[in-house]
Structure 1
Amino acid sequence: MSQSPMEQELPEGYRPFTAPRVLRMIYGGKTTMDELRNPVHEAETSPIKNKVGSIFVPVSDIAKSRSWYCRVLGLPETACEIMNGHLCPLPMEGTGVILDTMPLWGGDQPGGAPSIDTPAFMLMTDDLEGSLQYMKQLGVEIVTEIEHDHWFVVKDPDGNKLMICRE
């Protein structure tokens, strides 16, 4: 008769291991931030906050991009002021998004600053299917259909890939 796993002898030299923090977080343990606040991790203090202020999106035509993003996000263009001829902060909930022709980062060169070829952030929705249909109605280039019943990817007029994700 075989022994149950709890009754089996352990091999010589066996040492249990500690699950990585991320696994504990996923499976109901302490959150990563709780772990990081543990005095063991306080060897160095950084003046940099653990907080994202805004995300810059490289665009070639600031006015055209402002119109596109305002239509996609349902914002009035009057709420999105173009600043210094190359910046347009979008009023967002949470982390900010700033459209930028990026003159210091190649935007003043032919072809402009390189676009974001891998989605760098997500725009959230409560209606994933409705959001996909809305983007199609606007004539937005669809990169993927809905994947895993959770997200899809589109391109803005500059080829930046944006992920739309179920909240």
Structure 2
Amino acid sequence: MKSTVQSTTNAEPSPIKNKVGSLFIPVTNIEKSREWYCRLLGLPADCEIMNGHLCPLPMDGTSIILDTMPMWGGKEPGGAPAIKTPAFTLLTSDLQGAFEFVKENDIALATGIEHDHWFVIKDPDGNLLMVAKE
């Protein structure tokens, strides 16, 4: 039987870039989430809320957009489903300092520091976010 899987060494060019543009995080209350994420990331809490449901955060590198996701379950009673598996990492050069910061700011921890490299927190909507050594 002949395989239909193509080798990645002879991949054909694709019009899709191997570059991540933005990460969307589903939230239920855009104002409350903006305040929480800005406090977590040390950003001014005056980021613009666009179209009543989007809040792009000013990030270095790949951007994060908070979104009530009206097209993807945000209009349902519970809102869009939360991210239950960390899908990306927020970086730190001081893992222990970051861990203490989240504890001091009453940010919910999902794990302790694991393998001296990372830990996971929960945002107000239950989204799991990994904080990892840079």
TM-score (norm 2): 0.92
Q: Tell me what 1:88 maps to.
A: 55
Distance 2:23 2:15 in 1: 20
Q: Tell me what 1:159 maps to.
A: 126
User: 1:66-105 to 2 correspondence within 5 Å?
Assistant: 66-78=34-46, 80-105=47-72
Unaligned stretches of 5+ in structure 2? 1-7
Q: CA deviation at 1:77?
A: 1.2
Q: Tell me what 1:12 maps to.
A: none
SS in structure 2 at match of 1:152: strand
**Quick check: 1:123 aligned with 2:94?**
no
SS in structure 2 at match of 1:50: coil
Q: Tell me what 1:54 maps to.
A: 22
User: In the TM superposition, what whole-angstrom CA distance separates every residue of 1:59-112 from its partner, at most 9, and x where no partner exists?
Assistant: 00000000000000000012x111000000011111111000000000011000
SS in structure 1 at match of 2:131: strand
User: In the TM superposition, what whole-angstrom CA distance separates every residue of 1:111-160 from its partner, at most 9, and x where no partner exists?
Assistant: 00000000001000011001011001110110111000000000000000
- More strand, by proportion: 2
Distance 1:109 1:75 in 2: 30
Distance 1:93 1:121 in 2: 14
Structure 2 letter corresponding to 1:141: A
Unaligned stretches of 5+ in structure 1? 1-35
Higher Cα radius of gyration: 1
Distance 2:55 2:102 in 1: 22
> Which one of 106, 110, 134 corresponds to residue 101 of structure 2?
134
Identity of aligned residues (%): 65
Distance 1:61 1:102 in 2: 11
Greater relative contact order structure (CA < 8 Å, 6+ sep): 2
Question: How many aligned positions are there?
Answer: 127
Distance 1:119 1:125 in 2: 16
Distance 2:96 2:83 in 1: 24
Moved over 2 A (4+): none
User: In the TM superposition, what whole-angstrom CA distance separates every residue of 1:8-36 from its partner, at most 9, and x where no partner exists?
Assistant: xxxxxxxxxxxxxxxxxxxxxxxxxxxx6
Q: Tell me what 2:10 maps to.
A: 41
Structure 2 letter corresponding to 1:66: R
